[in-house]
Structure 1
């Protein structure tokens, strides 16, 4: 395996691990902790997901460059691109809608439940599948 493909593989699995740890472990558990109110949980979530998305963006750039430099298979690059597109949709489309709702909650309002969380979760599942598939394809190259 060439050094760029080794980097692409490592980055893919680091990114996958971060998404699994934060989105599917930390986030649901945060709201089960004693004395964590909805506003506190939302405030923590905003900070955590802003940081996660920033790191994901950096990893996406490294993955893209390393995959292209390492002459990864077109399937590997294509599936990796799916993860990058999902991230862009989450950050540009879904997160702003979630932020507007959380702004209302933090302002003391009681807005109706949002379907945006379900969209975000669905996209996270898609991203996990894309990253896992990318990592497997890169390992088999």
Structure 2
């Protein structure tokens, strides 16, 4: 992989990973522990924060795909890049719409039982974080 593409891909990958770790694994669970934050307030904040995160992730994914595509990467880098982007696509296209519908109902005052959709999002977020970490290491070594 050429050095300029590798540098861009590495920077973007670790920036993306840092954002995922900070928001998904730190901010998201902690906001519900703050005094006075009710489930509807936490959900409202979460929707705004994750919408912004997902937009930034989409831009970073595009930059990453471009850097990798023009850099002449080894197959391992291409596969792991595709995996990270695919995991993001699964979250945005398959999981988030259901979570958004559910949070809209809660924000409208409905009381709903716990949902397993959130667990799927956390599982894909964990897989995405591990994939980004792997990608960052692979690109740094390429």
Please tell me the TM-score bracket, short chain as reference: over 0.9
Number of equivalenced pairs: 141
Q: Spell out the pairing of 1:1-141 with structure 2 (5 A cutoff).
A: 2-141=3-142
How far apart, CA to CA, are the structure 1 residues paired with 2:74 and 2:12? 16
* Structure 1 residue runs of 4 or more that deviate by more than 3 Å after TM superposition: none
Q: Is the 8 A contact 1:5 1:66 kept in 2?
A: yes
Q: Is the 8 A contact 1:77 1:134 kept in 2?
A: no
Q: Is the 8 A contact 1:30 1:41 kept in 2?
A: yes
**What is the CA deviation profile of residues 32-55 of structure 1, one whole-angstrom value per residue up to 9, with x for unaligned ones?**
000011111000000000000000
How far apart, CA to CA, are the structure 1 residues paired with 2:38 and 2:101? 18
Give the root-mean-square deviation of aligned CA atoms: 0.8
Runs (5+) with no aligned partner, structure 2: none
Q: Is the 8 A contact 1:60 1:84 kept in 2?
A: yes
How far apart, CA to CA, are the structure 2 residues paired with 1:77 and 1:14? 18
Runs (5+) with no aligned partner, structure 1: none
Q: CA offset at residue 116 of structure 1?
A: 0.6
Q: CA offset at residue 97 of structure 1?
A: 0.6
Q: CA offset at residue 137 of structure 1?
A: 0.5
How far apart, CA to CA, are the structure 2 residues paired with 1:113 and 1:101? 10
TM-score by length of 2: 0.97
TM-score by length of 1: 0.98
